[in-house]
Amino acid sequence: MNKKKREQFRGKIQEHVARFEKDGQFSLQRSFPHHKNVSVHEHVCHVAYVALKIAHTLRVKVDEDKLVRAALLHDYYLYNWHDDEDWHKWHGFRHPKFACDNAHRDFGLCEREKDAILKHMFPLTIVPPKHREGWIITLADKVCAFKECWFRNWSYETTK
């Protein structure tokens, strides 16, 4: 993928991030740790970028705005799941619903966005996504989590 396309993807992501930070609690994600030294904010930006790359590389016809919105909001659960709270042990199963409810309340979601957010933990959450956007976000989330957990100094900001 060429530099112009990468910059276009990053620009699209930053447009949505700016809107979400203005209208909701999106910026709170900067303070919550996610995988190793990566914040939830950095993780969701990474997922949005990888999702766009997957769709582009495989030439999958998707609504890019819905893809980016759902990717950026897929972990919009707004709590630190690393805290020592007993209910956090169920985070992997429960956070998609929390994220979807919060995102719908703060930004309004269409059916495709809701489906992608609710089902991004497939196969852990059993029911698979219905739409291409959901499948791509599910895959991108796994790729990003792997990178974030296994590559010590990896960061979305340094992704080329």
pLDDT tens-digit map of 34-80: 656 788 899 999 999 999 999 999 999 999 999 999 999 998 876 65
Structurally, the chain folds into a number of domains equal to 1
Q: CATH number, domain at 149?
A: 1.10.3210
Q: What is the rounded average pLDDT of the residues 9-35?
A: 83
103-157 per-position pLDDT tens digit? 999 999 999 999 999 999 998 888 999 999 999 999 999 999 898 888 766 555 5
Q: What residues contact residue 142 under an 8 Å CB cut-off, 6+ apart?
A: none
Highest mean pLDDT among 24-33, 91-100, 127-136, 151-160: 127-136
Domain of residue 125, residue span: 3-158
The helix, strand and coil proportions of the chain, stated in percent and rounded to the nearest 5, come to: 70, 5, 30
* Predicted local distance difference test score (pLDDT) of residue 48: 97
- What is residue 158's predicted lDDT score, i.e. its pLDDT? 46
Among 69-73, 91-95, 96-100, 153-157, the least confident range:
153-157
pLDDT band, residue 29 (cuts 50/70/90): confident
Residues in the chain: 160
Q: What is the pLDDT, as a whole number, of residue 36?
A: 62
